[in-house]
Amino acid sequence: MTPLRSDWHRVGAGFSVRFALAGERFDAQWRPRLPTRREFERVAAAKVGEQAEFVAWWDGNIGAHHGGSRRGSSAQTVALEMESAESATGISHQQVSRWRARLKDAERRAAARAAREAHR
């Protein structure tokens, strides 16, 4: 294969790619190699599982003290807990909210997929 003018290009996240032409065929070589579909699905499922565990921990420990006495300063306490959790984990409450929404969407898609499979 004949490499193009510039060989390796950084693509971010530690990957580089080299494009080459072989007659009419165009080829891309990745370094390190791209994961197989099975490897990618395994890693993605593990990442989603970690996010689900974190959201469950957050929901169980941070901001779960709603209700109770309206005279106390529970809202201030929750805000302080949230700030300390954000600084300790490096993850904002907005990010947790986005993960929670995506997890619910994924559950809905899985339920719809299962329903479609059941009707086949």
Cβ-in-10-Å burial (0-12, 13-18, 19+) of 55 comes to buried
Q: For residues 67 and 19, state if they share a domain.
A: no
Check whether residue 42 and residue 21 sit in a common domain. Answer: no
Claim: this prediction has a pTM higher than 0.85: no
Task: Give the CB-side neighbour count of residue 2, counting CA atoms within 13 A.
Answer: 7
- Please state the length of the chain: 120
Same domain? For 74 and 17 the reply is no
Strand partners, 12: 15
pLDDT (tens digit per residue) in 7-44: 666 666 677 777 776 667 777 777 776 677 888 788 88
- DSSP letter assigned to residue 65: -
Domain that holds residue 91: 37-118
85 shares a domain with 51: yes
Of 85, 95, 13, 109, residue with least CA distance to 51? 95
**Same domain membership, residue 62 and residue 15:** no
Q: How far apart are CA 96 and CA 28, in angstroms?
A: 37
Do 13 and 41 share a domain, yes or no? no
72 and 15 belong to one structural domain: no
Do 44 and 83 fall into the same domain? yes
Q: Both 43 and 86 in a single domain?
A: yes
* Total number of domains constituting the chain: 2
Tens digits of per-residue pLDDT, 73-98? 556 566 668 888 899 889 999 999 99
Residues 56 and 109 grouped into a single domain: yes
